[in-house]
Every structure is written in structure tokens, then in C-alpha cells.
């Protein structure tokens, strides 16, 4: 679904482009990766300002732990996956299969939940990788989204440690 500028409560620069924030007065609804050349938008409410502040903390310190109320729309299964993803600490990764095993599901279903994650970064779907490589990100298997995933994993120290993607690492 295409969003308009007015849909976002803030648009901020990020090391890999820009992040647009959708929220109401008391919960984060979505983070959208947008073009780096989009006009920045200062927060339109106090909660959006808090989201911007926490994102800046994360960009400064990859070990930062988000503390934001979330309201992510999704099926019961997707919400289960998203809760599981929030348990993966920065600098660690799990394969889609390892997450699926924890939930009694299958890797493809976990991948679908990751693809539909409305709040990437805070719900860290970038920490889920394929058994044989990086896997997809934000519904893409190539291009700019994978560059963002690679930046995030490097920022968190996973790729910079020179590790390959290890099945089941957590």
C-alpha cells in the first residue's frame, strides 16, 4: 500500500536512507523505509518524538533496547513470530528454520511473518537469516532492502565479527 506524506508522524534520516514513522499518541504502528531524498518531517506528537529519540539511540548504539508500546496489526501467528523475534538480542541471528522450530511451525511461514512485519528494527526481523545466507528483507530478496539488512547486521556486530550465517545461532 502506497503511503502519503501525511500518513507519517515523522520522517527521519537513517544511516541507510530514511525511516518514516506511523504512530498514534501512545503506540508505534509501523516503520517504513523510504527514499533518502524524501523531505524530513519533524515529529507531529510527543510519542513520535520518543520514537525518533529511541531510533537515534539505536543508530548510535546497536545494543540499545527499544522500550516502546507497539500495536502491530497481524494474524495471531504473525504476532507470535514477532514476539519471538523480539527475544533475539542484537548481534545474534537465528535462521528461519530455528525460529520455526521454537514455534512448532515451518520456515516458510516464519518468512511470511517477517515479510509482513510492520515495525522492522523494533521487531528485529533483520536478525532472521536463511540457512545458506542472508535471506530476504522487507519482502525483497535483492536490491536496496538487502543493503539495509546488511547494514543492520554489520551495525549490530554480527557480520563485522566475520561470521557466516550459522543455522540456529542465537
Active site residues: 125
DSSP state of 64: -
Write the burial class of residue 38 (CB in 10 Å: 0-12 exposed, 13-18 middle, 19+ buried). middle
Report the alpha-carbon distance of residue 161 to residue 144 in Å, rounded.
23
Here the cell at position 1 is 500500500
Q: Using alpha carbons only, how large is the chain's radius of gyration in Å?
A: 15
Helical axes 107-115 vs 96-103, angle rounded to 10°: 110
- Residue 102, phi-psi category: left (phi > 0), alpha (psi -120 to 50), beta (remainder): alpha
Amino acid at each position: 500500500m502506497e503511503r502519503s506524506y501525511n500518513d507519517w508522524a515523522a520522517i527521519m534520516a537513517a544511516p541507510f536512507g530514511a525511516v518514516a514513522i506511523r504512530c498514534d499518541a501512545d503506540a508505534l504502528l509501523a516503520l517504513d523505509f523510504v527514499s533518502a531524498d524524501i523531505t524530513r518531517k519533524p515529529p507531529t506528537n510527543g510519542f513520535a518524538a520518543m520514537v525518533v529519540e529511541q531510533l537515534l539511540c539505536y543508530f548510535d548504539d546497536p545494543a540499545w533496547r527499544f522500550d516502546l508500546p507497539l500495536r502491530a496489526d497481524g494474524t495471531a501467528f504473525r504476532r507470535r513470530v514477532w514476539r519471538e523475534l523480539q527475544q533475539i538480542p542484537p548481534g545474534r541471528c537465528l535462521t528461519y528454520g530455528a525460529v520455526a522450530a521454537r514455534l512448532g511451525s515451518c520456515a516458510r511461514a516464519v518468512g511470511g511473518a517477517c515479510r509482513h512485519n510492520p515495525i522492522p528494527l523494533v521487531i528485529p526481523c533483520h536478525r532472521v537469516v536463511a540457512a545458506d545466507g542472508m535471506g530476504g528483507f522487507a519482502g525483497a530478496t535483492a536490491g536496496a532492502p538487502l543493503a539495509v539488512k546488511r547494514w543492520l547486521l554489520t551495525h549490530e556486530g554480527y557480520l563485522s565479527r566475520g561470521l557466516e550465517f550459522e543455522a540456529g545461532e542465537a
